[in-house]
């Protein structure tokens, strides 16, 4: 599944552009003698928001999700189906462990730092900051769903 490198570069430059657009040019107020302008803080503005859909066809859409590393990413997850689904982030090992956990809990979805259960027709948000670049997965571990392929690739780009 190779994507053109140009796409990655474009995404990166857009991201950088978005970051640098946050700072406003310093224009000293002419009508405020003595008042010192507050230093522009480089606070992260709007977090990256990614819309995700969970479907009864046992898919997570989009199947490949690209997110930046080092900044908060908010996944806006909608269950468009009629049965429970979940959105759990982690590498292969974490997915396998969560699968075991779900089976031992009788398949009940629950919320945790890296995953949320989403009831039919509901939209929920999950905000995560990925520390480093890499590739992980998003998976649904409602009984049988993960094995049936209910997963997506999450590419974390520097």
- Report the residue from 77, 102, 150, 154 that binds Cu ion according to the rule CB under 5 A: 150
CB of 108 to Cu ion, least distance (A): 13
- Report the residue from 52, 60, 116, 142 that binds Cu ion according to the rule CB under 5 A: 142
Question: Between residue 84 and residue 103, which ones bind Cu ion under the rule CB under 5 A?
Answer: 85
60 binds Cu ion (CB under 5 A): no
* Window of 23-31, 60-68, 88-96, 143-151 that interacts with Cu ion by CB under 5 A: 143-151
CB of 137 to Cu ion, least distance (A): 14
Taking CB atoms, the residue at the shortest distance from Cu ion is: 140
Quick one: CA dihedral 75, 80, 86, 89, positive or negative? negative
Reply yes or no: is the peptide bond before residue 62 cis, omega within 30 of 0: yes
* Window of 8-16, 40-48, 81-89, 113-121 that interacts with Cu ion by CB under 5 A: 81-89
Q: Which residues bind Cu ion (CB under 5 A)?
A: 85, 140, 142, 145, 150
């Amino acid at each position: 599944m190779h994507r053109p490198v140009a796409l990655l570069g474009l995404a990166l430059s857009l991201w950088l552009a978005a970051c640098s657009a946050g700072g406003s040019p310093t224009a000293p107020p002419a009508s405020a003698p003595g008042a010192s302008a507050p230093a522009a803080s480089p606070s992260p503005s709007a977090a990256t928001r990614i819309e995700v859909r969970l479907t009864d066809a046992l898919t997570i859409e989009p199947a490949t999700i690209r997110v930046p590393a080092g900044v908060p990413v908010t996944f806006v997850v909608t269950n468009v189906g009629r049965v429970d689904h979940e959105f759990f982030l982690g590498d292969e090992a974490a997915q396998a462990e969560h699968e075991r956990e779900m089976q031992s809990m009788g398949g009940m979805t629950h919320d945790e730092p890296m995953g949320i259960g989403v009831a039919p027709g509901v939209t929920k948000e999950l905000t995560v900051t990925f520390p480093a670049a890499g590739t992980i997965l998003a998976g649904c571990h409602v009984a049988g769903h993960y094995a049936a392929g209910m997963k997506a690739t999450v590419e974390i780009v520097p």
